[in-house]
Structure 1
Amino acid sequence: MLFKDLKLSDNLLKAIEEQGYSQPTLVQNQTIPLVLAKKDVIASAQTGTGKTAAFALPIIQLLESNTVKTPRPVAIKALIVSPTRELALQIGNNFKAYARHTNLRTAIIFGGISEKPQIDILTKGVDILIATPGRLIDLEKQGLLSLSDINILVLDEADLMLDMGFIDDVQHIAKLCPTNRQTLLFSATMPHKVVQLANTVLKNPERVAITNSSITAKNISQLIYYVPKRHKIELCLHVLRNNVKGNILIFRRTKFGVDKLESALSKNGYQVATIHGDKSQSDRQEALKKFKNGLVSILIATDVAARGIDISELDTVINFDLPNVPETYIHRIGRTGRAGSTGVAYSFCGPDEKTYVGKIETLLQSHIPEATNNPYPLNPKEKAVTHKPKQQKSKHKKNRKSTASKKKKKRWY
């Protein structure tokens, strides 16, 4: 099937061709007709499957057909809620590219930068708004924007949104929108809490599920190193010196872990950029710019910060810390080996992460080969370290006697 078979407008088809796309992906094939039919949709598909275009293209078509060339300002007609700043920017850039031959206006708002430029853009009139929850609610409370005319509400990366603690914000935003709106929910995974959210904000939704974990990983060579936790940094240096080339994305579980690895690699002469939640928006954008422009070849990130990163050419992914959610592993390694190219994914498994491997392999429906050139092999008998809470010891000696007892003092009572 081609994009023209999806009954998209000439303006959209022209923009799609200029982007270099010819055939829609599976999620686009299934989702675009449902959105054009004005159905509520709940869709699950992995990172890199074309989810943004699956809702952006039909939204532009619906708004374009209903838009009359009237003087600005206009009311916001479509709202896309995104969990991270990077993802909001990526979605916004996609909307602007697809809508370049229409008269629709798009704006992106998020926290971490000054409100004033964003307010100025909103004042001029916006048809499509892409926003992170915090900044959106702040501006709405100040009376600087209204959601009362929203026709289409999109909740993107819903699982990440809930993981970041935005559940109350999302429900509040949904209540600010008209009840007769069309609602689309997209998520990489569908845990129970996402299903619960969908039940509260969508009406009789159509469901789209693209389960292609094995397809995602078919162009990616995977290796796992079983290693003591204390030797992970040394192993990382060994792999960087001997195994990898090109652009490398390293995942760590925590912000502290990102900073610690950055320090270790920098001391060993590597040029490194980092992204995590404590970095300012300008620092995060600068780090990503350096990586994309080849000024640094290594980017270290947490999952939350990395979800919205758009990196077209990535040679290697290193899971310094294995994720406890199997789908997250798929999203991570799926950042390499895209568009028919090949990629490599290395994973470091400590004794406390062994239980994650079985779940990941079940999802992959395949075994992850173990590396044979491991200079820091894990002793099979080594167990995960469990940190038991320290018990407060009594300051008194065991079987102590009071001073009165020692003196065998007779009491008057």
Structure 2
Amino acid sequence: MSFKDFQLIKPLLKSIEASGYSQPTLVQERSIPIILEGKDLVASANTGTGKTASFVLPILQQLIDFQDAPKRGKKIRALILSPTRELAVQTQETFKVLGQFTNLRSMVVFGGTSIEPQIEQLKKGVDILVATPGRLLDLHKQDYINLDYIQTLVLDEADLMLNLGFLDDVKKVERLCPKDKQTLLFSATIPEKIEQLGDQLLKNPERVDVTTENSTVKEINQSLYYVTKRNKISLCQHLLRNQIKGNVLIFRRTKFGVEKLEERLAEVGYKVDTLHGNKNQSERQTALNKFKNGYSKILIATDVASRGIDIDSLDNVLNFDLPNVPETYVHRIGRTGRAGETGMSFAFCSPDEKNYVKAIETFTNQPIPVVDDHPYPMDPNTKSTVHKKKGSKYKKGRKGEGAKSRKKRWY
């Protein structure tokens, strides 16, 4: 199948060709016709399968009649809700690329950065708005955003949206939009909460499920290293010297862990950038751009980067800390091995993370190959150390003899 089969207008076909897209992915093939018919849709697909273009192209097609409206007369007719700033920026870039030969205007708003430039841009008029829930509601409360003309509402990465606690905000935004709008829900997974949300917000939705079991992990060469916590940084440096070729995205569980690893790698001469929630949006975008452009070969991140960030030709992913949610592991390694390319994934497992390995292998229905040949081997049967808080040597409610003798008595 080709994009011409969707009967898209020439400016869109021209932008598709200029972008290097050859033919639609499975999720695009099934979703685009449904959206063009104006129906509500619940779609799930594995990460890296082109979900964003699945709604960007039909939205641009549907709004083409409004492209020549005077700039200040433009109304927001399509709203895309994104759970993270990075995903919102990525979605806006897709709109710019695929809408480059139209006069449709799109913009992105998110928190963590100055609100004034966003207000000025909104005043000029836009057709398509990509937003994170918090900043959107803030701007709406100040009357800078009018949602009365929304024709299409997209809830992107809905499962992540719920995991981050945006459920109430999402429902509020949906109520602010017209009742007769088209609603599209895209998600990597469809847990029960997403099913309930779809039942509440969508009208007789069509369903597209192109998630294929293990499709992400099959395209990636995985390896698992059993190593104690104290040796993880040394093993990381060993792999960077001898095993990992090209760029690498390293995941750590905490911001403190990210900064500690950055410091240790910088000490031995590596160019490293970091991505975590304590950084403002400008710092996060700068770090991401430097990594994308090849200035730095190592990017260390918390899970803020595990979804929605499209890094072309990411060679390696290293799970320095294993996630306690199996789906997160799949999303993390899904940053590499995209669009049919083969990627490399490395994972460290300390004794207290062995249960995470079992959960991941059960979820993906395949074992992760273990590498024993490295300088810091650990027996996989080693049990985690349980640190018990030492109590007082005295029984509860009892004092020592010295304290008793010093106590003044009233009698």
TM-score of Structure 1 vs Structure 2, range by shorter chain? over 0.9
C-alpha distance 209-388 of structure 1, shift in aligned 2 (>3 A): farther
1:168-317 superposed matches below 5 A: 168-317=168-317
Structure 2 residue 161 is the aligned partner of structure 1 residue 161: yes
Q: How big is the shift at 1:103?
A: 2.2
Give the total of aligned pairs.
407
Residues 372-406 of structure 1, C-alpha deviations (whole Å, 9 max, x = no match):
31322223442234455676763624899988xxx
1:158: how far off? 1.2
SS in structure 2 at match of 1:269: coil
Equivalence for 2:68: 69
Confirm or deny that 1:130 pairs with 2:130: yes
d(CA) in 2 for partners of 1:159 and 1:254?
21
Structure 1 residues 35 and 274: alpha-carbon distance in aligned structure 2, compared to 1, 3 A threshold: same
Change (3 A) 1:391 1:166: farther
1:75/1:388 CA distance change after superposition, 3 Å:
farther
SS in 2 for 1:76: coil
Return closer, same or farther for 1:255/1:193 CA change in 2, 3 Å cut-off: farther
Could you say which residue in structure 1 is the equivalent of 2:358? 358
The amino acid across from 1:33 in the alignment is: P
SS in 2 for 1:135: helix
- Could you report, residue by residue, the CA deviation over 1:128-174 in whole angstroms, capped at 9, with x for unpaired residues? 00011111111100011111111111011112212222122111111
| Equivalent residue in structure 2 for 1:394, among 393, 396, 403 | 396
State the alpha-carbon separation in 2 of the partners of residues 147 and 319 from structure 1.
Answer: 41
Distance 1:313 1:68, change over 3 A: closer
* 1:341 alignment partner in structure 2: 341
Single out whichever of 383-392 and 16-25 deviates more from structure 2.
Answer: 383-392
Partner of 1:57 in structure 2? Answer: 57
Separation in 1, partners of 2:290, 2:199: 42
For the residues of structure 2 that align with 1:271 and 1:278, how far apart are their CA atoms?
20
Aligned partners of 2:390 and 2:7: how far apart in 1?
Answer: 66
Give the match's secondary structure for 1:217.
helix
Deviations 1:280-302 (A, max 9, x none): 11111111122122221100011
Retained in 1: the 8 A contact 2:67–2:103?
Answer: no
Identity among equivalent pairs (%): 59
Stretches of structure 2 lacking an aligned partner (at least 5 in a row): none
Partner Cα distance (2:273, 2:203) in 1:
44
Deviations 1:74-127 (A, max 9, x none): 221000011111111111111111122222111111122222221111111111
Work out whether residues 277 and 304 of structure 1, in 8 Å CA contact, stay in contact via their aligned partners in 2: yes
Task: Provide the rounded CA distance (Å) in 1 between the counterparts of 2:370 and 2:338.
Answer: 23
Question: Structure 1, residues 151-210: CA drift from partner, whole Å, max 9, x if none?
Answer: 111011112212222122111111111122111111112222222222222222211112
Cα distance between partner residues in 1 of 2:192 and 2:267? 44
* Counterpart contact for 2:11–2:102, Cα < 8 Å: yes
Tell me which amino acid in the other structure corresponds to 1:321. Answer: D
What secondary structure does 1:313 align onto?
coil
TM-score by length of 2: 0.92
Native 8 Å contact 2:67 2:102 kept in 1? no
What amino acid sits opposite 1:338 in the alignment? Answer: R
Alignment-derived partner of residue 323 in structure 1 = 323
Q: Which runs of 5+ in 1 are unaligned?
A: none
Kindly indicate whether the alpha-carbon contact (under 8 Å) linking 2:109 and 2:131 is maintained by their aligned counterparts in 1. Answer: yes
Secondary structure at the aligned position of 2:339 is classed as coil
Superposition RMSD in Å = 2.5
Amino acid at match of 1:53: A
Asked whether the equivalents of residues 275 and 304 of structure 2 are also in contact (C-alpha less than 8 Å), the reply is no
Q: Partners in 2 of 1:224 and 1:214 — Cα distance? A: 17
Cα displacement (A) at 1:365: 3.0
Deviations 1:23-42, CA, capped at 9 Å, x for gaps: 10011011111111111111
1:29 counterpart SS class: helix
Q: Which moved more, 1:43-52 or 1:184-193?
A: 184-193
Deviates more, 1:82-91 or 1:352-361: 352-361
- d(CA) in 1 for partners of 2:59, 2:97: 13
For residues 13-24 of structure 1, what are the structure 2 equivalents within 5 Å?
A: 13-24=13-24
Q: Residues 299-358 of structure 1: CA distance to partner in whole angstroms, max 9, x if unpaired?
A: 001112342322101111101111222222222212222234322111001122212222
Q: Which residue of 1 aligns with 2:95?
A: 95
TM-score by length of 1: 0.92
Aligned partner of residue 362 in structure 1, secondary structure: helix
SS in 1 for 2:20: coil
Cα distance between partner residues in 2 of 1:189 and 1:62:
27
- State the one-letter code of the partner of 2:235: L
